[in-house]
Amino acid sequence: MRIGIVARLEIPNALEVTRKVLRLLAKEEILLERGLAKKLRKRGVEAQVLRTADAIVTIGGDGTVLFAQQQAPETPMLGINLGERGFLADVTPNEAQRALRMLVTGGLPIVERERLVGEAAGKRLPDALNDAVVCSAKDGRTLTLRVSVDGKVAVDVQGDGVIVATPTGSTAYALAAGGPVVDPRLKVFVVVPICPSHPKPNPLVVPIDSRIEIEPTRSERGAFVIVDGQVAAKLEPGEKATFYRSDKPARFFGWGEFYRKLREKL
């Protein structure tokens, strides 16, 4: 089996766990992300080579999974969690040996998760597994944003921005901003205002086949569009960002159970 490995080196014990994983996968063909390979003094591969793997194992937290998704968006992932919450990286270090054994023997199901597509500033943005955020291009400045769903104005938001989240992303930034937790089996998106002023608009839950448009309405203020934590585009005054369902869902090796993770991590 051809397995890519991506690790977040800033996390304590990440190298130790990586070496353990390499021992457990000694009989498989291993592809190491270049930064990790350099630390291990081994040969690394470019992102396009990672995309040829049968599976990718991430070692870190949910952010490491998001990074790996951007490198190899169509490859199924298994995340070993060294972070805090671990909704995407949900294998504990103590479970790693059993999970990896099941992975290489075909004992883990593949689970698909919805992703979000964005268009802004005349280009298609990278697919988002968690969320896309429209926020001010200037630190400390608020925005006035008009949110439309399928061509109809849904809400005007004056505040720090708006989050459009997938069911997977509902337990991340959207939850911190006051949005609901969404069972990943539901086919919906969540639209969550960030720190809105009075009158305070409520979060929205919309069908997954909706087209969501967000437009800054103050002519002097531009906005950034941030996709899974990375700045992807800048909106100039008068431009809109549009979001809709991706036709390429993310793929994960199934591990754990959603409501158990909710009880343990939230």
Catalytic residues: 62
Q: Please answer whether residues 196 and 215 qualify as being in contact, where contact means their C-beta atoms are separated by less than 8 angstroms.
A: no
Identity at 93, one-letter amino acid code: P
Closest alpha carbon to 216 in 164, 143, 122: 143
Q: What is the DSSP string of 119-136?
A: EETTEEPPPBSSEEEEEE
Q: What angle do CA 257, 243, 86 make, to 5 degrees?
A: 25
Tokens 């070496």 belong to residue? 19
Outline where DSSP puts E strands in the chain. 2-7, 29-32, 55-60, 77-81, 110-113, 116-120, 123-124, 131-136, 143-149, 152-159, 161-165, 188-194, 204-207, 212-216, 223-227, 230-235, 241-245, 250-253
Q: Please answer whether residues 36 and 4 qualify as being in contact, where contact means their C-beta atoms are separated by less than 8 angstroms.
A: no
Tokens 């951007």 belong to residue? 70
